[in-house]
Structure 1
């Protein structure tokens, strides 16, 4: 495949390396200040840019009939518009808060645990996520996805950043520490015990590999998809 990269920071460079290892070609490397770039030969685009330009990158690809895989978080107020624009242009689009294959399996585990715990009201639910200091948004998109998975299965109604006394709200604690790729912990705590599930990324390779696999899967398709489609989890 011929791939365009929107965002050429640490993640973009990791995606480039893994894509090349898998036999693909990078035909465009586009950062916020890039101008006059060419997309006519692109088979699929991968966006790990910044929140301020992610939505415009996605719409640009729709207008040029380029399938796009987006891993940028912090722009989701416009997600519904992106879906409508994809449908309008008969495009192809995958968004995921996290492309790691392990994290997507972790999402499924989180959902199953929430189903098991929904009737045990003695347990309080909390989330904690830790990332590198360069991460711009908090909480992480992965933490939000985990919280939403719990809300779908329980009586919880919403999530909040930081500690809360509201029993219907899931608190998410965000920590930023140098050189931490990403750790997420879901805790169920009672007066007598605690149940935890966690996922710890060792490096960025897992995120990048998942994004490239998603791009391989999306090529020549039409519609709006998720990593559940890519991994056959639906």
Structure 2
């Protein structure tokens, strides 16, 4: 998983235990000379200072209770900082321009999650307004068609692609399905419909369709990815992964 780049204003005295709380394999602490340099960061930490007007996730560490909705962690509760950072980033990614179509919103969000947060980004919150059942019939049909096309690409290249590229495509499909609350039975239906199409093509060409049985492993692989995301959507006691 790609580590998150967490910025803070250069010259700030950081708590001594911060590196223990934010392990470097997951969080890279990056000093910036000015807050406007933070646009390439994944999140910005502000220590008892003025909150900058930037379009990036911000977490304030301080004792004074803020009136705004900016995420805040008390200095005595720094153990909560990792989960607060992840939740803040996930919430930020969810704030997408409402003028976009639902399909565009889902695609943009899944791409960002896939790129940076992996499963963590969708761990905290999904938008029920973007679930499949909340879409109009036209949007639902278009979304399922896009899912089916992505699945077809995975199946046809399953035994050809490099593992990294294949996993990226499977993650993309699983993220799209998860964010829209697509059920496993609907994924199974997509698989069956594709196998029916391929079977007809093979028979027309005079070939046997037994080879399609090999694609059961494709279905198992995809469903395993999706089930893992649904499993991680249930917060355990204590809120820890």
TM bracket (short chain): 0.3 to 0.5
TM-score by length of structure 1 reads 0.32
Higher relative contact order (CA 8 A, sep 6+): 1
Q: Which has the larger radius of gyration?
A: 2
More helix by share: 2
- Structure richer in strand, relative to its length: 1
Q: Give the TM-score normalised by structure 2.
A: 0.31
